Amino acid sequence: MRTSFLFSLTAFILCCSLFSQNAQAQRSKKPPAKPTVGEARAFLDSAEKKLKNLWIKTSRASWIQSNFITDDTDALAADAQKEVTAATVDFAKAAARFNSLKLPYDLERQLNLLKLSLSLPGPGNPAEQEEMTQISVSLESDYGKGKFFPDGPQGKVVDLNQASRILATSRNADTLLRMWKGWHSISPPMRDRYTRLVELSNKGAKELGYRDLGAMWRSNYDLPPDQFAAEIERLWQQVKPLYEALHAHVRASLTKHYGESLVPKDGLIPAHLLGNMWAQQWNNIYELVAPPSGDMGYDLTEILKSKKIDEVEMVRIGERFFVSLGFDPLPETFWKRSLFKKPADRDVVCHASAWSIDFHDDLRIKMCIEINDEDFSTIHHELGHNFYQRAYNPLPLLYQGSANDGFHEALGDAVALSITPEYLQQLGFIQNVPDASGDLGLLMKLALDKVAFLPFGLLIDQWRWKVFSDEIKPSEYNTTWWQLREKYQGVKAPVARSENDFDPGAKYHVPASVPYTRYFLAAILQFQFHRALAREAGIQGPLHRASVYNNKKAGEKLRKMMAMGQSRSWPEALEALTGEKKLDATAFLDYFAPLKKWLDEQNKGRKVGY
């Protein structure tokens, strides 16, 4: 987990020495001594030593707070985060002294990464720093503890996991609406605190020299902030026709199932009918939209259950995929310290995540695993984070990250694209690989996950960037949230919403202040990665049937890119794996080309768009 710094004694002595020199110079009316490369290196070295201790301390406090949610663990996590935030701000400001100095590449890059190392930069005022960290921890904690009573205060209490299972399996519109409304009732109390969090973090970003927090987030992509935003829009325009074709077919299928009074044949889709709390992935409604000839020949969820594969064994299977590529197995501590199953006796943050606690070999995942095909894929994704973390952990601390945050998310998903029928046969899950007649079913199931996600992956930060820039006022938070969801996703709130609601807070990444554009980037990058790995493995045939399982040559190519960490720009890392320097959605479109052809045929005579 990337956090921040505090002055070490060495750095403190150095800064005091420089202050003394500057004071003497002022008394003698001489300009301050110009900084040197040696001073910059000493500053960075001493910062990294203290930085590592602080990050480990914060990682441990955050792990405990996420896995044992109490007032006490909230306070401990807030204290650790407050210390790390204050230190990062101090170091980032001190690093600005070397801005005008011509520095070697490594020094300049690491100092820039230092300045961008916080997703929530606190203001310099200690009281405001403390307030910001307390708000931040409390918002994430409230999300983790979120529960509601769909049948009134005397009824049964429901949490997000339970509500998500009902949304995934029920086809009763009234039941789905109760679950949707119930979960979205947990977030209105967050609204005022979130508004204050925006004020404080924006102030911190401005003190570091950024226009606002959104501009600071966008500066982390080796491009000017506005140019990066334009790149995101370019990618969206590449994939938008495929999304709109899928949306039109899904809308027609839901109209047929629920009736035109609930799902207008030419309009927006009610968000509670798509099988997911945020309508961000639609794979749970596959049976309602499946192609008539799309029988995949197997049901992975049923296979996992029939073979009595438990949560730990699902993770073991994922680990064996990476080992088959030539990676070493995970350390024994991973199995002892990770969380695989939701405890019955306490609140935890169930949102799946991967951790490198000590920036060396203490790797873990935290996940409330369900025995189904979706979590089988998610496990491969989370383990991708862990193996990536271990690949770059030998690097200097500030290089211990992916080339950009989209790379981290894309890597595990690229591996999960190898969960093909051929892979399942090698695992012994199916006896025979289905022929090509079932490929439309495979592609539709994956499109309901990957294609359906694209606009949601885009709009979260579209909303936040406008919030941070004050284009969206606090009095417009919920209204503009739904305007963006209608514009990009083509979905609408299932019941009337107002500014008494705070529906963005019902999505983990908003109260947790996790930048979200990384997931949109990952949705594109994973297919670029997958195509490159398939080529490296010499695989012929359609991209959607390619699996690099047990291919050491593809694994070595992947390992080399992973080992670069954040030491080089992301275009260089992309080129190392794919031979391409530009983000490109053609691999994404090639993968789903057979499905797009079928969708266009189905949509003749239908309105496409919303």
pLDDT at residue 7, as a whole number? 29
pLDDT-based confidence at 16, cuts 50/70/90? very low
Query: Residue 219 contacts by C-beta under 8 Å, 6 or more apart in sequence?
Result: 116, 210, 225
The pTM for the full model equals 0.86
- Using an 8 Å Cβ cutoff, are 381 and 369 in contact? no
**pLDDT confidence of residue 34:** 85
Burial class (CB in 10 A: 0-12, 13-18, 19+), 608: middle
Reported as a single tens digit per residue, the pLDDT across 115-147 is 888 889 889 899 998 999 999 999 999 998 999
Q: By C-alpha distance, which of 264, 286, 269, 314 is closest to 168?
A: 286
Q: What is the rounded CA–CA span in Å between residue 74 and residue 70?
A: 6
Alpha helices for 185-224 (secondary structure H): 191-207, 213-218
At residue 115, the pLDDT reads 84
Strand, coil or helix: 130: helix
Give catalytic residue positions: 382, 509
Amino acid making up residue 168:
A
Residue with tokens 């002022």: 26
Q: What are the strands, taking DSSP E only, across 450-562?
A: 491-492
Task: Tell me which H or E stretch contains 365.
Answer: strand 363-366
Q: Is 470 left (phi over 0), alpha (psi -120 to 50) or beta?
A: left
Supply φ then ψ for residue 51, to 5 degrees: -55, -45
Q: What are the residues facing 270 on neighbouring strands?
A: 492
Q: What is the pLDDT of residue 284?
A: 94
Burial class (CB in 10 A: 0-12, 13-18, 19+), 545: middle
Which tens digit of pLDDT belongs to each residue from 539-548?
A: 988 999 999 9
Contacts 24+ apart (CB under 8 A), 587-591: 587/527, 587/528, 587/530, 587/531, 587/543, 588/238, 588/239, 588/242, 588/450, 588/523, 588/524, 588/527, 589/238, 589/239, 589/242, 590/527, 590/531, 590/543, 591/443, 591/527, 591/530, 591/531, 591/543, 591/544
What is the dihedral angle through the alpha carbons of 342, 346, 350, 353, rounded to the nearest 10 degrees? Answer: -90
- Using 50, 70 and 90 to split pLDDT, how confident is the model at 293? confident
- Label residue 546 exposed, middle or buried (CB < 10 Å: 0-12, 13-18, 19+): buried
Residues sharing a CB contact under 8 Å with residue 404, sequence separation 6 or more, in sequence order: 220, 221, 222, 518, 521, 570
Return the amino acid letter for 346.
R
Output the DSSP codes for 582-596: S---HHHHHHTHHHH
Q: 479-535: per-residue pLDDT in tens?
A: 999 999 999 999 999 999 999 999 999 999 999 999 999 999 999 999 999 999 999
| 340-363 mean pLDDT | 92
Average pLDDT on 288-296 reads 86
Residue 35's alpha-carbon distances to 6, 10, 20, 118, in angstroms, are 21, 17, 14, 25
Measured between alpha carbons, how far apart are the two ends of the chain, in Å? Answer: 39
Of 60 and 437, the one with more pLDDT: 60
Determine the Cα–Cα distance for residues 329 and 320; give it in Å rounded to an integer. Answer: 8
Q: Annotate 506-543 with b (16+ C-beta within 10 A) or e (fewer).
A: bbbbbbbbbbbbbbbbbbbbbbbbbbbbbbbbebeeeb
- SS3 category, 168: helix
Q: Which of 240, 229, 266 lies closest to 489 in space, CA to CA?
A: 240
Share of the chain above pLDDT 90, in %: 79
Could you give phi then psi for residue 492, rounded to 5 degrees?
A: -130, 160
